[in-house]
Amino acid sequence: MTPPDRLRALLAEPAFVVMPAVWDGLTSKLTAQGGFKSAFLSGSCVAASRLGGPDLDLISFAEMFDSFDQVRAAAPDLLILADGDHGHGNAMNVQRTVRAYGRAGAAGILIEDKITPRALTATGKPTLPREAARMKIRAAVEAAKDSGIMILARTDCRPTLGMDEAVARIEMFVAEGAEILLLDSPKDIDEIRRAVAAAAGRHSFSVLSPGAPRVTPSRDEAAALGYKIGTFPTAMLSPAVGAIKAGLHALNAGQSAAASAIPPAELSTLLGYADYEEQAQRFAVPD
């Protein structure tokens, strides 16, 4: 089965699907070793790890795609739903983006309706006019036919254009053939219910990390509300940052490692040193 078909089969199972956020080979490998079958290549996490900066459309297609390549190589069996952002341009850019991720083995890709390039402000999420947004998703669905990659259509219009427009866009994206839908920044549970209903039986995706200006249900609440997939970018990135800060604090305090550090032998095993040695011996030249 192809990665998209494997993801469709996973989503056909009754359980709520947890997609940890990943951003490089190490996070991907750890996620697979943790027993997860799928993960979300998070644009915010990639921006944080590569730039040490915010998720404000500063990451390029090439950087995101390189991160995907790292993630895929480190855990080939992990089903990756990639953050395609706004498709990195117009509808034709969307097609190129979708086809590239499909050829490379992504199981799904997110395409959103935000305006690009964004205004020079960190506030607000201005979105494309409705028909322009339609054409982006139409282009994505058409390009997806080459590989079968699943299209996740996201609307960011709720804060600026209101919930009625967000519902209309979700219904429009369903009509265009998107298989997964995402309403960004729902303000309350009623808006979540409206968005899930507008998806008309297609899978609904939610960002369940707290902190952003949106209602954030628990995992069990999300499943009860009709969400099928949940990702947790801050829940992955924040502990990683905390661990690095703890290590730096330990060094400043004259210690050799933080109390939370895993033992060297465990780290060596996790990174695959023994596996490397075993494989390398097949190519060793006798003395």
As a whole number, mean pLDDT of residues 250-279 equals: 95
Is pLDDT of 138 > 90? yes
Q: CA-CA distances (angstroms) from residue 186 to 131, 152, 286?
A: 22, 17, 64
Phi, psi at residue 265, to the nearest 5°?
A: -65, -40
Q: What is the DSSP letter of 253?
A: T
Mean pLDDT of 158-184: 97
Q: What is the pLDDT of residue 90?
A: 96
CA distance 216 to 283: 52
Question: pLDDT tens digits, residue range 83-105?
Answer: 999 999 999 999 999 999 999 99
Tell me what pLDDT residue 119 has.
Answer: 77
CATH class name, domain 3-236: alpha beta
pLDDT, tens digit, for every residue of 28-62? 999 999 999 999 999 999 999 999 999 998 999 99
CATH 3.20.20.60 domain range(s) in the chain: 3-236
Q: Is the pLDDT assigned to residue 213 strictly greater than 80?
A: no
Residue 116 confidence (pLDDT): 86
Q: How confident is the model at residue 209 (pLDDT cuts 50, 70, 90)?
A: confident
Q: What is the pLDDT of residue 115?
A: 93
Sign of CA dihedral 169, 174, 176, 179: positive
Picking from 76, 78, 84, 79, the residue whose alpha carbon sits closest to that of residue 101 is: 84
Mean pLDDT of the region 227-250: 96
pLDDT for position 117: 82
What is the pLDDT at residue 122?
Answer: 60
% of the chain beyond a pLDDT of 90: 92
